[in-house]
Structure 1
Amino acid sequence: MTINTNIPTKYIKVWVMEVTDRLDDGKTYKMRNKYEYGQKTIDVHFTLTYKEADVPISGFCSSSVEETAPLKDAGNIINENDWEENGMMVMQGKCILPVEKKLEDFYISVTLNEETFKLKDWSTTEFSRDPSGRWYTLKNKWTAHPPEFTFIFHIYYDADKPPTGSCAILTGSEPKPPVTQEPPVSPTTRQTIQPTTTQKQATPVITKQSTHLPTTETHTTPVTTKSQTSPSTTKSQTSPSTTKRQTSPSTTKSQTSPSTTERKKTQRTTQHQTVSPTTSNVPAPTNQPGATHQGILNLYHNKFKGDGTYYGAGEQGTCSYSPPSLPPTVAAGNIRRYIALNRPQFFNSLSCGMCFKVHGSGKGLGSDPIIGDSIVFVKDLCPECLAGSVDLAENGDGRWEVEIQAVQCPVGNTKLEYKFQGSNPWYLKLQVRNARIPVTGLSLWQPKSQRWAAMQHSSDGFWLMGPGHFEKPVHPSAQAPLKMKLTAANGVVIEDQITKMPNEVVIHGTGKQFPRDPSLPQA
């Protein structure tokens, strides 16, 4: 913005702008904004100091706005996933924010359309939260690089549908509440300066609350975007080495060795993914394209940098793959390594059974470096791992730089498998196994009402009957098979049938498997 006056002045004081230049005669000042604005007009308060003059000060202000190509959904909150956790709904949101130059000291504001309880993320620390929970301002931990900064967070709420809203980057030492995003101002705006008899100092409003979120871990963003990737961070505050942990089907225990330091694992919490039932009026099942899961597809389309660690050899874990009934892909030796995947990319166990390519550079600390490429199988959750990080189910020591990317599992000619657990004619708990691409939706055909009923996904890798949507009792047989519609993360839908319902036994359907997707990486 430029301010021109009719007489010379000594200096100017502005609260929302940074003065960049003053011409020698003191009649012209050039400045730039400290904060981001989206309204058609903004109020700029300032004071001018000048010597006594015969005429009052007058003049004009002008502003210039650089027109840039907008990013898709720039600033808007994108809902990537939502689930229930401890009686409260949680949404994983993402904002893509344009960055014109390198930023090392900035704030991020999050504005929501309804009341929320708390916000948790991995790349900032909470600075303030308004009492209604509709606005958060957070201080960055890492540097943002052009052309964009990706901000991922979890928001906790209690409503029928997830909140919506926007994010913005605020620069300067004292952030103020964001304004509603509207079309930008015209490139040049002129306004006559109106002198006032009383000059009141206008300062930005700062909201500081005593509410603080618990300390969280830093977030790693995809390498393909130019967002800042968080540096290596140790899981233990006292040693770069990790502790080997033995995994049981329901618990995780830390184990100490001479070369490692004991670290406490966070207790797993059961999360239930809410899947809305879909209905159909057709008299028989039909194949229709299904909904894609963008969060999981991002794991295929991007490479993520993080840490590779060890927690001890074992085959059991959160995903409930227990010997001797391991998926054929693993049992046949096509995959030789198991991993526990980080929580941000675990998607409430929808990532169970996925395959990743892990590349290790050999850089890090410890005695067992991770070097080269490996195809690994997700069989467990690493609660404290950052996005992009994996915990190898092997005996080893150290923390090493790795890069991961999801690949289609090398299932070959093998088919989908199923396993029931604790099921009976009035309750079904079903696990889908050995999928080339992970299953993100599962529905059962209801023959009486001629419709599909969606099952809910559990945090231990199973699909459950939702309340009130299923015809009971269920007695699968050759004459009345249990018909299923399975949707993969890429939207491909296949149908399969089961004619029996034994518990804790791996069974097969009619020999179906998801086809290879040429748009997704192969193992």
Structure 2
Amino acid sequence: MTKLSPLGLVSALLAFSPSFALAQIRGSATFTGNDHTGGTCSLFNYTLPAGISGTGIGPSNWATGGKCGSCLQVRGPNGSTKVMVVDSCPSCLENRLNLSEDAFVKIADKADGIVDVEFDVVSCGLNSPLIIRNKIGTSRWFFSMQVLNANYPVTDLEVSADDNRTWESTVRQDYNFFEKEDKSGFGKDRVSVRVSCSNGNQVIIPNVSMESEVQIVAPVNC
């Protein structure tokens, strides 16, 4: 069962000059089933936002899990739809998307099987805040944390174990959890977490428990 952190957390959104701009990509799309929870991005117990379906993404755009949770606007022969990257597609050709079936039928006829598309990374457009979640086994001796529900791609997750005086970066794993490079912890039961997004904004969440499977809903998104 998911455990919730104590109330009273304070979160700050630090705004910088946005520099978020990604080129439109020409590629292709096919489709698979609609279940997003078993994908490489580890989005178990996470409900996709209303109006957003899931997609797998091929090796040329996977970025070692760096696109997990990102939203793409996909344009096909019959229309356009917004999807969230929920899985990798190791067998996909360059710039290939493996859309969920419900997304594919919004842009093409199901009988087509594979179609040409254009897509780019866009804001998910969520009014709800981002979420951070500890992996099972997380403790003061082992750090593993996931960011969910971010409006823009998450570029970095840093941790402070000394009341925000210094920050240490973590490394995003293929399975979409951020961990210390040496697979250890920060030696504290509570830390501050700073999440950076591709639009230049950061969210700081203090007093985060290092207890296994703790989930925290921040008051803001990036």
Could you tell me the TM-score, scaled by structure 1's length? 0.35
Residue 498 of structure 1: how far off its partner (Å):
4.4
Give CA-to-partner distance per residue, 1:253-279, whole Å, 9 cap, x none: xxxxxxxxxxxxxxxxxxxxxxxxxxx
Of 82, 100, 117, 1:393 maps to 100
Stretches of structure 1 lacking an aligned partner (at least 5 in a row): 1-284, 362-370, 477-481, 515-523
Residue 459 of structure 1: how far off its partner (Å):
0.7
CA contact (8 A) 1:415 1:512 kept: yes
Q: 1:312 and 1:498 mapped to 2: Cα distance? A: 39
> Which residue of structure 2 aligns with residue 353 of structure 1?
69
Q: 1:427 and 1:444 mapped to 2: Cα distance? A: 13
**Pairs within 5 Å for 1:64-103:** none
For the pair 1:405 / 2:117, whether they are aligned, the reply is: no
Of 114, 131, 134, 1:420 maps to 134
Q: 1:390 and 1:341 mapped to 2: Cα distance? A: 5
- Residue identity matched to 2:25: F
Give CA-to-partner distance per residue, 1:313-359, whole Å, 9 cap, x none: 3222000002xx215xx24x131x21001211121111100111111
Note closer, same or farther for the CA distance 1:469–1:460 as it changes in structure 2 (3 Å cut). Answer: closer
- What secondary structure is seen at the aligned counterpart in 2 of 1:345? helix
**Pairs within 5 Å for 1:251-262:** none
Q: 1:499 and 1:470 mapped to 2: Cα distance? A: 13
Note closer, same or farther for the CA distance 1:490–1:410 as it changes in structure 2 (3 Å cut). Answer: closer
Residue 470 of structure 1: how far off its partner (Å):
6.1
Give CA-to-partner distance per residue, 1:98-149, whole Å, 9 cap, x none: xxxxxxxxxxxxxxxxxxxxxxxxxxxxxxxxxxxxxxxxxxxxxxxxxxxx
For the pair 1:377 / 2:84, whether they are aligned, the reply is: yes
**Pairs within 5 Å for 1:179-198:** none
> Which residue of structure 1 aligns with residue 23 of structure 2?
302
> Which residue of structure 2 aligns with residue 334 of structure 1?
51
Residue 360 of structure 1: how far off its partner (Å):
0.9
For the pair 1:319 / 2:34, whether they are aligned, the reply is: no
CA contact (8 A) 2:55 2:86 kept: yes
Residue 406 of structure 1: how far off its partner (Å):
1.2
Stretches of structure 2 lacking an aligned partner (at least 5 in a row): 1-11, 103-109
- Residue identity matched to 1:326: Y
Of 119, 127, 150, 1:435 maps to 150
Structure showing greater Rg: 1
Note closer, same or farther for the CA distance 1:448–1:484 as it changes in structure 2 (3 Å cut). Answer: closer
Note closer, same or farther for the CA distance 1:417–1:498 as it changes in structure 2 (3 Å cut). Answer: farther
For the pair 1:483 / 2:192, whether they are aligned, the reply is: yes
Residue 376 of structure 1: how far off its partner (Å):
0.7
- What secondary structure is seen at the aligned counterpart in 1 of 2:64? helix
Q: 1:449 and 1:359 mapped to 2: Cα distance? A: 43
Residue 288 of structure 1: how far off its partner (Å):
8.8
Residue 468 of structure 1: how far off its partner (Å):
9.2
Q: 1:385 and 1:501 mapped to 2: Cα distance? A: 37
Residue 418 of structure 1: how far off its partner (Å):
1.2
Q: 1:354 and 1:418 mapped to 2: Cα distance? A: 15
- Residue identity matched to 2:90: P
> Which residue of structure 2 aligns with residue 364 of structure 1?
none
| Higher relative helix content | 2
- What secondary structure is seen at the aligned counterpart in 2 of 1:334? coil
**Identity of aligned pairs, percent?**
24
* Matched residues, number: 200
Q: 2:221 and 2:46 mapped to 1: Cα distance? A: 17
CA contact (8 A) 1:454 1:466 kept: no
- Residue identity matched to 1:352: C
- What root-mean-square deviation, in Å, do the aligned CA atoms of Structure 1 and Structure 2 show? 2.8
Note closer, same or farther for the CA distance 1:449–1:317 as it changes in structure 2 (3 Å cut). Answer: closer
CA contact (8 A) 1:356 1:404 kept: yes
Q: 2:183 and 2:174 mapped to 1: Cα distance? A: 21
Note closer, same or farther for the CA distance 1:394–1:406 as it changes in structure 2 (3 Å cut). Answer: same
> Which residue of structure 2 aligns with residue 111 of structure 1?
none
CA contact (8 A) 2:124 2:150 kept: yes
